[in-house]
Amino acid sequence: MSWWQETVCYELYPRAFADSDGDGTGDLAGATARLDHIAELGADAVWITPFYPSPLADGGYDIADHTGVAPDLGTTEDFDRLIARAHDLGLKLIVDLVPNHTSDRHPWFQDALAAAPGSAARGRYLFRPGRGASGELPPNDWQSAFGGPAWTRVADGEWYCHLHAPEQPDLNWRDGHVRSAFTDVLRYWLDRGVDGFRVDVAHALFKAEGLPDAGPGQHQDPLRNHLMPYYDQEELHPLYREWRAVLDTHPAPPGSVPPQDRLMVAESAVFDPARLARYIRPGEMNQAFNFAFLEAAWDPQELRRVIDTSLSAPGGGSVTWLLSSHDAVRPVTRLGSAGRARAAALLMLALPGSAYLYQGEELGLPQAFVPDDRIRDPLWERSGHTDRGRDGSRVPLPWSGDHPPYGFTAAAPERTWLPQPDGWGPYTVLAQAQDPDSTLALYRAALRLRRAHPAPDPTAAPRWYSAPGDPHLAFGRGALVCVVNLGTRPLTWSTTGVPGRPVLASGPLDGDTLPPDTALWLLDTPDPQGPEGEHDGRIH
């Protein structure tokens, strides 16, 4: 079994994690100084989102240099210190690879703009003549995932394709130069000691030959994503096999995992489970983010269906579970209450496979309101100010104190990367570390128990103690047993047939009844006094 099959991986969004130099923006040295928070939490790995040079048209996912470090975040030496510290703390570190597009400030795109139509420089991107009598219409009907057409016209009349913001031109993955340059990017970060990669927009690198129209309803039904001519093309898979071979063979520097243990996880917005499973066949990626779980409603039937479907899809790797990310609404807000988010955490962390946590989730942060004049997300402009975008889950973490900037930076609160709300004093790491009933304490206890009781087979379905129509979910994975009451009435958990003794609950219990929106963990081990530390968790 490989470490990533059961890993708890913590997503670190560097500009909002911790600031070391007082400029109001989180940075690599700040992250290094605070990595012990992630180790104490009990995570196994860290995924750090893009820290590369970027004009920040899309929070750093518009990269101008794939092997550099953004000056506001530090230097290459700061990255080396971050990875060394992570490894010292026993944490693996994975970085983002963003191969679908570059920044429009990337030298390749600047060269392409300066070059003539049909040139090799333009051939690295998707430049096309327009339709209409004078080429005034976009080459096809593709829509950007951020709204509006996926095409922008340049001065000489050609159009270029961008599935995201216009500042993120899509690369042409049939261009040999692009292909070999990205292999070099992989090798570069492997040489610096990374333990793997999260591959951004892994479903979109190739577009169907001839760039045919996509038709109506684009981006409206995720279950149809794999049918779009710009997604899920067959040519992705030989490319991922090529990358896997690089990961499997490129020498590992001291401190990083051996080559065959390196992780490649796909950010693939393909919702059809059979299509998604193709990304994690042996010899390709190890894992793909399970967005169906992230988007599932707080409903026992829907969650049961997503869990069963996720675990039954064929594929070589292990299933992932996530409740949040820098792209999603915070679970407290999305699910409707702090209690539900806490129960969802125990549900997720009891499932077999890997869990991805996003910074601030362990603090139970709600989605923050970001005023119009501080919004950074391109969705705001692209949607004509109808979609406020994702900034509400990207505000800087509160570490200590009663008012902004809550120990995040030495800068004045109005200079932070995004503004933090008032009233977050009770959410700070410091306040929660001292409170045994806090969400931080719950996550710490859950991760300790989970680590002490790994799933015997992280790819196997759980043992179900509840039936598909029940208002609760009850299941076991190895010795760890979980009951979640998703109904509207209290549940006498002792009648659900679950074995074991209670060790951790997401909220106060009432005798042997579990209130609605509450989860309970039990341990089904023969020796209650055994070394597994059954008092790690707190029973209310």
Where do contacts with ligand NOJ occur on this chain (CB under 6 A)?
58-59, 61, 98, 164, 200-201, 267, 326-327
| Cα angle for residues 505, 510, 513 (degrees, 5° grid) | 80
Closest residue by Cα to residue 190 from 265, 264, 247: 247
Residue 100 or 496: which CB sits closer to ligand NOJ? 100
Sign of CA dihedral 386, 357, 39, 60: negative
Q: Shortest gap between Cβ of 421 and ligand NOJ (angstroms)? A: 22
CA 307/CA 321 separation, integer angstroms: 9
Minimum Å gap between C-beta 225 and ligand NOJ is 14
Q: Where are the alpha helices (DSSP H) in 48-175?
A: 76-88, 107-114
Name the token pair of 401: 């104190």
Q: Please, what is the minimum distance in Å from the beta carbon of residue 439 to ligand NOJ?
A: 24
Which residue number, 45 or 503, has a Cβ lying nearer to ligand NOJ? 45
Tokens linked to 241: 């096999």
* DSSP states along 485-507: E-SSS-EEGGGTT--SEEEEESS
Handedness of CA 98, 99, 102, 106 (dihedral sign): positive
Q: What angle do CA 158, 159, 163 make, to 5 degrees?
A: 165
The minimum distance between CB 165 and ligand NOJ, in angstroms, equals 8
Q: What are the catalytic residues?
A: 200, 267
Q: Which residues does 528 contact at the CB level (< 8 Å), separation at least 6?
A: 501, 534
User: Nearest approach, Cβ of 174 to ligand NOJ (angstroms)?
Assistant: 20
Amino acid sitting at position 35? L
Residue from 482, 480, 478 nearest 523 by CA? 480
* CB closer to ligand NOJ, 24 vs 59: 59
| DSSP SS3 for 472 | strand
Helices marked H in 89-138 — which ranges? 107-114
Residue 199 pairs with which residues in a beta bridge?
97, 266
| Residue 467 in tokens | 């039936």
Distance (Å) of CA 510 to CA 69, 277, 488, 491, 500: 52, 42, 15, 10, 18
Closer to ligand NOJ by Cβ: residue 58 or 104: 58
Tokens of 56: 């920040």
In angstroms, give the least distance from the CB of 61 to ligand NOJ: 3
Choose among 530, 490, 528, 529: nearest CA to 520: 490
Q: How many CB atoms lie within 10 A of CB 249?
A: 9
Q: Report residue 158 as tokens.
A: 């050609």
Nearest distance, CB of residue 377 and ligand NOJ, angstroms: 8
CB of 164 vs ligand NOJ, minimal distance in Å:
5
Closest residue to ligand NOJ, based on beta-carbon distance: 61
Of 124 and 390, nearer to ligand NOJ (C-beta) is: 390
Best CA proximity match to 327, nearest among 512, 482, 513, 201: 201
Query: Cβ of residue 231: shortest distance to ligand NOJ, in angstroms?
Result: 13
Answer whether 214's CB lies under 8 Å from 143's CB: yes
Nearer to ligand NOJ by Cβ, of 147 and 259: the residue is 147
Pair 523, 481: CB distance under 8 Å: yes
Can you name the residues that pair with 463 across neighbouring β-strands? 476
